[in-house]
Chain A
Amino acid sequence: MQHEAVASSQEHIQPSGEEVRDRTNDFAFKLANVNGTGSASANGLIMQAIFRMGIPVSGKNLFPSNIQGLPTWYEVRVNAKGHTARTSVYDLIVAMNAETYARDIREVRPGGYVLYDATWPLSPALARDDVTFLGVPYAQLCNENFTEVRERTLMKNIAYVGTLVALFDIDMDIVTGMLKEKFSRKPALMESNAKAIKLGYDYAREHFECPLPMKLEKMDATKGSILIDGNTATALGCVYAGATVAAWYPITPSTSVLDGFKAFCETYRTDKATGERRYCILQAEDELAAMGMVIGAAWNGARAFTSTSGPGISLMSELIGLAYYAEVPAVIVDVQRVGPSTGMPTRTQQGDILMCAYASHGDTKHVVLFPANPNECFSLAVKAFDLAEKLQTPVFLLSDLDIGMNDWVVPRLEWDDSYKPDRGRVLSKEELLALPTPKYYRYSPEDEHGVAARTLPGVHEKGSFFTRGSGHNKLGGYTEIPDEYQEVMDRLARKHRAARHLVPPAIIEKRPEATFGVVTVGGCDPAVREALETLEERGVHGDFLRVRAFPFGDEVEAFLAEHEIVYVVEQNRDAQLRSLLILETSVPKEKLRSITAYGGFPLQAHQVIEGIALP
C-alpha cells in the first residue's frame, strides 16, 4: 500500500524545466522538522561534514520556544566565497514536517528541489511545477529496518542525511569518520546511524540522478578554522580569563554559557584525585541574586561573571548601578533575544544595546563589548574581565542568540601563555603599609583613567573600607554634600571616557571609491560584508565599520565625520545603535540612516542592500 502511495504521490511531480546553473559550493537548503525528534544531531552532522570538506558553511537553527512538537527549521548555506549570512533563498528543502509542507514548499526557489517523506502521498494541492519533488519513503524504510519505536523516529532524520550525502555528493568517508568519532563508545548507536544513512543514500542513488546541480566539492577554505557556537566560546573565554565564581539564573538563549563553563571547569579545574573544584558555580534563585553574588565575589577579589538575556538585565539593573557607583568589577554576558517582555525567547535580536549602555537608575554608563562571532566571544570575554578589573566597573559582553546558539565557522581560538590577567589597581599588604598616608582611602587618589586603588578583604586592616551604594565622597565616606557627590560622579564620567582608549577598536574596511559608510554591530557582520561586496560588483562602493565596544573609540567618531551618509545596520526596531551614536558622538543625526531588521531571524544581505538607496 505504501509503495503505491509513493507511486501515486510522484505522479504529479513535475521536474522543473528551468535550466539550473552550476551551484557547486554555492547554495542553501532548509530542513523543516518537528521539535524534539532528534533532528538537531542529523542537521549538525550535515553541517559539520560540509565544514570538513573545507567549504565555508553556516547553519541557522530557527527553533520554537517549546520542547516537543512544534515546527523547527535548520538552514544551511554553503558559499565558496565565505558569505555565510542567512539567506532565505532555498535551493532545496527537506520537508519532514507535514504540518508545514505548504509553507516550506512555497519557499523553494524556482528550479529547486523538495525532498520529502514519500511514505504518505503528498497532497496534489501542494504541487508546484517549477520545482522537483524527490520523495523517499523514510518512515517506511525505518519501520522495515528498525524495531524500536524511538529509533524508527530518530533514524528518519539520519536517513535524510544519507540522501543528502548522495544528492550533494558529500564525502561519505567524512560522514563515516564523524560517526566513528561520535559513537566510538556506543557501537550499537553507530551501527544504527550508519544503517540509516545507507538507507537514505542507497534510495537516492537508485531513484534520483545524483548529484544534483547543487553539489559540493572539497575546498581548502576552512583549514585553520573551527565550527563552534558563541556560547561555548564565551564559556571558554571565562575559563581562560580565570573566572572562578559564576552566578546565574537559567534563561534562553544564554543557558549554554554556564553549561559550557561548568563542563570546561569539570575538565580543567577539578582535581582528579580529590574531586575538589577550583571554581564555584551558583545557580541563583533569580537574576537579582545572580548579580548580587557576582558583586560579592568580585568585591572579594574573584573574577566573577553572570550570563543572562534581556529579561535578566532588567532584573539586574538595580545592582548593576550599585556595582557602577561602588566601583566593583563585574562581567555580565547578555545573549540577546527578542523583546520586549518575554518576547520571542528563541529568536535573535539586538534589542538590549541601549539598556546595557545605560543600565540602572541615575547617571550610569557602562562598558559594552560587542562580539560578532564565536571567535570574538572568546577573546572579548577575556578582555571583559581585564576591563572590568582595570576600570573597576561592570562590563557587558553583548552577544545574541544567532551568535550564541548557532555554529559558526571561525578561525581557531588563539591563546598566548604569556597572558597575565590585568587585575587593575589592587593594593597588596606591602603596598598598603608603604602608603605615604596613615590611612587608605578607597576612591582616592585616582590614576590617569580615573581609577583609584582598591583593596581586598582579609589582606590587611589598613586596607579596610566601607563600600556603599549611597552618596560617598572621594575618600569613601558617606556624603550628601553636592560638591563632594559631584566630584565622584564627574570622575566616574571621566573613567568612562578613558575607557574608549582601552576597549577593542572598531573594525574598519575602506574602499577607495566609497561614497558612503556603513556602521554595524555584532552578528550583522557577515550580512553587511556580503551586501557591500555585492554592491561593489554593481559599482556601488561603501566603507565598513563594525563597532566592537561602547564607549566608542576615536576611530568611530572619525569614520562618522568622514562620510556624508552613514547607514547604521542593526537588528532592532528603534535603531538603538544609531541612537547611541547620536548621543555619544558629535555626528549630526541627519547623516545617520537607519537599516533595521527585527523579525527575529538573523540578518540577510538583501535586507542591507535594499536599505541602501542605490544611485
Chain B
Amino acid sequence: MSYIKKPLVRHPSLKTNQLGLTVRDYEGTMSTLCAGCGHDSITAAIVRAFFELDTPPHMVAKLSGIGCSSKTPAYFLSGAHGFNSAHGRMAAIATGAAAANRKLAYIGVSGDGDSLSIGLGHMSHAIRRNVKMLYIIENNGVYGLTKGQFSASADMGSKSKRGEANAQSPIDPVMLALSLGATFVARSFSGDKTQLVPILKAGLLHEGFALIDVISPCVTFNDHEGSTKSYVHTRKKQVPIVQTDFVPAAAEITAEYPEGSVTKVTTHDGATIHLRKMAADYDPTDRTRAMAMLRERQAAGEIPTGLLFLDPTGATEMHRGAKTVSTPLVDVPFDDLCPGHDALERLQAAYR
C-alpha cells in the first residue's frame, strides 16, 4: 500500500458511518514506510476503529515521538490535528494537551525505541497519572530508522539481521504497565486486525490510560529467522488469551456468548466490552493473575495477546484526580481565570 497514491474519487457504494463519513475520510497521507511494514497494518486498524466509532476526525489529537512508528499519525485521520514531536517525549506532550482540553480523543503512537528507552519515564508517568489516552506501542524490537540496532524490547538471544545475538533482557511494556497500575493493558499483533480493531475501539473509549503493545514486524531489519518479532515467529507463538468484542454505547446489539465464558465490562460512556476467555481460568480484571499468566506464557515462549487487563473499578483518571472543571480549560473564559483589579488590591493588603 505504500507506494500507490490513492485516487480521490469515492466509490458510491462505500459504506458510511453515522456521521456520513466513509473509511476513506479516516485515512491520512500516503505511507512512506517499507512495503509490508507491520505499522501500516496498525494504521489500517486505527482507521477502521475510528470509522466504526463514528468519531469526528477533528475531535481527535494524534501524537507521536520519533521513529518509524511515530511517522504513522500522518497516515491516518487527515482531519485531525497531529503532532510528531521529539524522541520519547510524546507521553509528556500528550499529558499537557489532555490537561488543556479534556474533550478531545488522544491517540499516541510510539515505538519500542521511543517508549522503552528514552521515553520510558514519560510513559510510566502517563500511566501513573492515568491520562485518558490510547497509547500504542508499535513494537518491532529494533531501531529501524538508524538501521537495525536492538531496542529495549528485543528478547534475549534474539538475533539481529547480521546474526548477532541480543545479550540483554527485554523490557516488556505489558508487564511494566501492569506493575505500574495501568487500568487498560492489551497486546496484539499487527497481522491480526480482527483482534486489534475492537481492542483499539475499547482503548479509545477507556476512561484513562489504555496501553496497547502491538507486535509489528519490521520487514527490513527484523523479519528473519532468529528474530522473535518476525511475522513467522509471532504467528507461530501468538496465543489469544481473550477475544474482545466491542459494542459502542449507541448500538443496541448485544453479542451472544456461552454463559460462563464471557465477561462484560461497561465503559464510562455506556459502551460494552465483551471479553471471551480463551483460557478458561483467566480473569482479565485480576491484575495479579494477569501478571502471573503473562510470566508463565512468556516463559513458555508464547506471545499472549488480547485485552489482558481492564480495571473495572475505573481508577482515577488525571482530570478526576486533579478535580479539574468539566469544561475544557481552553474554553474557560478569561474573566473566570483572572481575579481582576479589586482582588489584587485586597490581596496586596497582606503584603504591607
Measured CB to CB, the residues of A under 8 A from B are 51-52, 226-228, 236, 239-242, 244-245, 247, 264, 267-269, 271, 275-282, 284-286, 288-302, 304, 318-319, 322, 412-413, 415-417, 419-421, 455-461, 463-470, 478
Contact = CB atoms under 8 A, between A and B. Distances in A.
Given A457-B101, A464-B80, A289 B92 contact: yes
B351 A226 contact: yes
B78 A464 contact: yes
A292 B122 contact: yes
Nearest to B344: A415
Contacts, number: 217
Given A285-B121, A463-B58, A268 B330 contact: no
Contact of B325 (A276, A466, A469): A276
B340 A318 contact: no
A466 B97 CA distance: 15
A286 B100 CA distance: 19
Contacts of A284: 92, 125
18 contacts: A275-B323, A280-B100, A285-B121, A289-B91, A292-B95, A299-B96, A301-B100, A318-B89, A319-B89, A322-B85, A420-B334, A457-B61, A457-B104, A464-B80, A465-B82, A466-B81, A467-B83, A470-B84
Contacts of A277: 322-325
Given A302-B329, A415-B341, A469-B85, A288 B122 contact: yes
A464 B58 contact: yes
Contacts of B17: none
Given A296-B95, A464-B58, A245 B329 contact: yes
B14 interface: no
Nearest to B29: A466
A127 to B, nearest CB: 42
B212 to A, nearest CB: 21
Contacts of A285: 121-122, 124-125
A239 B334 CA distance: 10
Contacts of B95: 247, 282, 289, 292-293, 296
A278 B329 contact: yes
Contacts of A304: 96, 100
B317 to A, nearest CB: 12
> Per DSSP, are chain A's interface residues mostly helix, strand or loop, or mixed?
mixed
Interface string B95-119: 1111111011000000000000000
Nearest to B73: A466
Contact of A457 (B80, B93, B124, B351): B80
Contacts of B339: 239-240, 264, 267-268
> Per DSSP, are chain B's interface residues mostly helix, strand or loop, or mixed?
helix
B58 A458 contact: yes
B103 A269 contact: no
Interface in B59-89: 59, 61, 63, 73-74, 78-86, 89
B86 A319 contact: yes
B99 A293 contact: yes
A292 B96 CA distance: 7
Nearest to B60: A457
Contacts of B82: 464-467
Contacts of B73: 466
Contacts of A275: 323
A469 B61 CA distance: 16
B197 to A, nearest CB: 23
B54 to A, nearest CB: 15
A461 B96 CA distance: 22
A417 B56 CA distance: 38
A100 B110 CA distance: 57
A466 B84 contact: yes
Contacts of B93: 292-293, 295-296, 299
Nearest to A301: B330
A244 B58 contact: no
B251 interface: no
Residue from A51, A240, A280, A282 whose CB has the most chain B CB atoms within 10 Å: A280
B343 interface: yes
A458 B96 contact: no
A284 B93 CA distance: 11
A289 B65 CA distance: 13
A299 B106 CA distance: 13
Interface string B141-156: 0000000000000000
A558 to B, nearest CB: 35
A244 B337 contact: yes
A239 B339 CA distance: 8
B352 A465 contact: no
Given A280-B319, A285-B125, A461-B58, A456 B330 contact: yes
Nearest to A268: B339
A460 B103 CA distance: 14
Given A226-B348, A300-B330, A282 B96 contact: yes
B252 interface: no
Given A52-B352, A245-B96, A302-B329, 19 more contacts: A226-B351, A244-B330, A267-B339, A276-B323, A278-B332, A279-B324, A280-B322, A289-B125, A292-B122, A293-B93, A294-B96, A295-B93, A299-B81, A318-B89, A457-B61, A458-B103, A461-B58, A464-B81, A466-B82
A267 B95 CA distance: 25
Contact of A279 (B81, B83, B94, B329): B329
Contacts of A228: 351
B11 to A, nearest CB: 22
Contacts of A290: 92
Given A288-B89, A458-B58, A280 B351 contact: no
Given A242-B337, A319-B86, A469-B86, A458 B59 contact: yes
